[in-house]
Amino acid sequence: MIVRARTFRPLSLAVVVIVVGIAACTAPGGDGATRTANVGSPTPAPEVYAVGREATAQEIAAWDLDVNPKGEGLPPGAGTVAEGAIVYAKTCASCHGPNGEGMPPNPKLVGRIPGDSFPFATDSKAAKTIGSYWPYATTLFDYIRRAMPPNALGSLSANDTYAVIAFLLSTNNVIPADAVMNAKTLPAVQMPSRNRFVRDNRTGGAGFK
Amino acid sequence: MDAEQRTSCNRNSSKDDSVQPPEPNDDAVPRTSDKSALSRRALLAGAATAAGGAAFAALPDLLTGQAATAPGAATMPQSTTAVAAAAAATDVIVVPEDPTRVLGLPTSAHSIRSPFENPSRVPVGLVSGSSRTPIHLLTGTITPNDLQFERHHGGVAIIDPGKYRLMVHGLVKRPTMFTLDDLKSLPAVTRMHFLECSGNGRAGYTGSKADTTAQQIDGLLSNAEWTGVPLKTILAEAGGVTTGAAWALAEGGDAALLSRSIPLDKLLDDAMIVYAQNGEAIRPSGGYPARLFLPGWEGNTNVKWLRRLELIREPNMSKDETSKYTDPLPNGTARQFSFEIDAKSTLTSPTYPARIARKGWVQLSGLAWSGRGKITAVDVSTDGGTSWVQAELQGTPQPKALVRFVSLWKWDGSPAVLMSRAHDESGYVQPSIEVFREGRGPGTDYHYNHIRAWNVDAQGQVTYGAAT
C-alpha cells in the first residue's frame, strides 16, 4: 500500500524548511495499523562535509600543465624553425612522415587549402591539418606537452617543444622561416582558420540545424 | 553437437590487424567481428564431442581429462581449493547430451556466459582506438559491463585506487585534493543514462557499405546505471567557485592526459563524478577508479580517469575541442562545443547480417535516446519512410537514457526498407538522411543522427541502406 505523506525537516540555523511531497512505503504493523517511514536523514545535511584536504602549491604546479589561448601556462624557453626541424626528424617523422604528410592512421600535420577555404563539410577528403583547421597555435604546446611523442611521453624539453612548433607552423606557411617561438610569440600567431569556429547555440525543439 | 556450436565458443578476439601506432583516427571503421577462429583448445576438446557431448574451450571448467574417459559424467571437486583452481583455469567444458542425468558445474566466484553465447565488442587499434558494443545481440536497455563500448586516446590507464587523487583548483575558494574514499564518503546518486561517442554513426554515413552491421554503425553506445557524486557537491567541498569562473578544464590521468573544457552550468546541473556502473566499480576502460559523467553529452567530454578539474574563465581550446570533436558545416564554419547528443534511434533487429527466414510476423526492435531529455515517441516505417506507425516504448523512458522500442510487422515476402524515427521532449524529430546531408554536408564530422535505413530483399536478407 502506498500513502502520500508530507515530511517537515526540523528548522536549524542553516537549513531552510523544506516541504517535500514523497511517496513513503508502508508496512502493516502487528496490530494491523499502518507505520509510515519518513524519507530523510537522521541529521540535517550540512552545507559542506569537510571532505578532502587543501591541495598544496607544489601539487598544483605539478599537474597544472595546460596552456590556454592567452598563453597562460606557457613555460620559459624558446625554439627556432631550424632547431625544430631536427627535433621533428628525430621525434615525430617516424609516425607523421618526414614532412608532416601523415602516415595513416596518424594524421597529416602540414598543408593549406587554396585560398584558405574551409570545405570540410562538403569534401570529406579535405585534410584537417594544423594549417588548414587548427584555430589556436597555443593548442600545439598544450597537446604536444601532454601527449606527444606517445613512445616517450614527457621527454621533450620546453625548448624542443617550442622548436618543433616553430617548425610545424613554418612548414604550414603560418610563420616565417626565421621566426622564434616562445611564451610571447606563440599566443600572437594568427591561425588561418581562427575565425571559422562558431559555438553551438542549439537547444533542441522542432527543426533541424 | 555440431561444429557451428563449437566455433561459437571462441573467446579469443582475433587481433589480426597489423600493429597500429597509438593514435588512429577515430573514424576507423571496424572490421566485421563474426569471423571467429577455432581456438586450439576447442580443437583439442573436439574429441569429446564424438564421445557424447560438446566441448567448449576457454571457459572455467572442471572436466578436463574426464571428457574423454567419462563423457557426460561430471565429478565434483572435493575442496574449495579445487573449485578455485578450476575456476581460474580456462579450459574445456562439456555439454552433456542429457543434463538431467549428470551433475552440473559447481558453485563459482564468477558466473560464465553459456558457451553457446558470445556477444563481443569489435576492437579497432591495438593501443588507442575503440571497441564497439554488440547492440544487435543485446536486449532491453542495460549494456553488460564487459560489453560497454570503449574509446581512448592513450590506451587504457591502470590506476591503483589507493594512489588515485582528484584535484579541484583554479577559481575555487579552497583548492582541494580528494581521495577515492573521500569521493565515496559523499552523498551518492544513482541514475540511468546512455553514453555515446559523438563519432558514432560515421560508418553509416561516409562511404557506407551494405554489409555493415548495427554494431559497426552505432556500437559506440552503451547504457548503464551510474553511481557517483554530484559535481556541485564536489565544488561545494572546494569552498565554491570564485568570481569569473565560467568553465572547468577536466583532465584525465591517462597517457593522453585528455582534457576538455566544460561549462560551469553543466557542472552545477546534472554532472557527476562516477565510480560505479551497474552495481560494481567502473572498469579500467571506463575510467577506473573515477570519471566525469555528463548526462546526455558527447562521450569525449565524460573524461575518464579524472584527475583534475580547474575552474577557469574561458575554454582552454584543447586538441579535442578544436582539431577534433568539432562539426564542419556547409557554410564554411565548424560548430564547436556541440555537447548535446541530438535525438536518435537505431534499429537493432533485424539488421545485417540477419535474414528473415520466412514470411509472417517479424519483431522490429531498436534503441532510442536523446541528450536533451526523454524520448517521447519512436515511429517505424517498413516502406522507406513513406508511411510511419508509432512503435511501443518498453518501460517508462528516462531522461538521457536508452529506451527500447518494438513494433510487430507482418512481412509479405516483398522487398522493404525498415526505418525508425525518434522524437524527444524538446520537440525535436530525428531528421531524414536527405535533410541531414543538406544541413551538415556530405563530409561533415560527428553527431550523425540521421534516420538509418535497412533494406530487406525478397529472400529476407537485410542489408544497410542509409546512404542511398
Q: Domain coordinates of chain A in residue numbers?
A: 2-29, 65-196
Q: What is the mean pLDDT of residues B354-372?
A: 98
Phi, psi of B251 (to 5 degrees): -130, 135
* Residues constituting chain A: 209
Instruction: State whether B317 and A66 contact (CB < 8 Å).
Output: no
pLDDT at B78 over 90: no
Q: Tell me the nearest-neighbour CA distance from B419 into chain A, angstroms.
A: 18
Tell which A residues from 48 to 107 touch B, by Cβ distance under 8 Å: 48-55, 59-60, 63-69, 95, 103-107
Flag whether pLDDT at B245 surpasses 80. Answer: yes
Is the pLDDT at A199 greater than 90, yes or no? yes
Least confident span in B4-18, B245-259, B364-378, B422-436: B4-18
Q: How far apart are the CA of B228 and the nearest CA of chain A, in angstroms? A: 15
For residue A27, the model assigns a pLDDT of 41
Distance (Å, whole) CA A132 – CA A111: 6
Flag if A119 and B443 touch (Cβ within 8 Å): yes
Kind plus residue range of the DSSP H or E element containing B150: strand B150-152
Residue A61 has pLDDT above 80, yes or no: yes
For B363, residues 6+ apart whose C-beta sits below 8 A from its C-beta are B349, B406, B407, B408, B409
The pLDDT of residue B92? 81
pLDDT, residue A25, reads 41
Task: Give the confidence band of B206 by pLDDT, cuts at 50, 70, 90.
Answer: confident
- What is the mean pLDDT of the segment spanning B94-101? 95
Three-class SS of A79-142: EEHHHHHHHHHHHCHHHHCCCCCCECCECCCCCCCHHHCCCCCCCCCCCCCCCCCCCCCHHHHH
Grid coordinates given for A17:
524548511
Question: Is B251's CB within 8 Å of A63's CB?
Answer: yes
Average pLDDT score over residue span B103-127: 92
Query: Which of B301, B154, B148 is closest to B219 using CA atoms?
Result: B148
Whether residues B182 and A51 touch (CB distance < 8 A) is answered with yes
Is the model's pLDDT at B89 over the cut of 60?
A: no
Residue A156 pLDDT exceeds 90: yes
Give the A window 24-53 contacts with B, CB below 8 Å: 45, 47-53
DSSP notation for B292-320? EE-TTB-GGGS-SSEEEEEEESS----GG
The pLDDT score that the predictor gives to residue A40 is 78
Residue B202 above 70 pLDDT? yes
Strands (E), B154-296: 165-170, 176-179, 189-196, 221-230, 247-252, 259-263, 272-277, 280-281, 291-293
Output the pLDDT for position A116. 96
Domains of chain B: 1-16+32-118 (no CATH), 137-335 (3.90.420.10), 344-464 (2.60.40.650)
pLDDT at A36: 72
Yes or no, beta carbons of A136 and B444 under 8 Å apart: no
Banded model confidence at residue B91, pLDDT cuts 50, 70, 90: low
pLDDT at B303: 98
Mean pLDDT of all residues in B268-274: 98
pLDDT above 70 (res A184): yes
Distance CA B449, CA B118 (A): 29
Bridge partner list, B172: B241
Just give the CATH number of A65-196. 1.10.760.10
Chain B: give the shortest CA distance to residue A144, in Å.
9
Q: What ipTM, to 2 d.p.?
A: 0.84
**A133 with B323: CB under 8 angstroms?**
yes
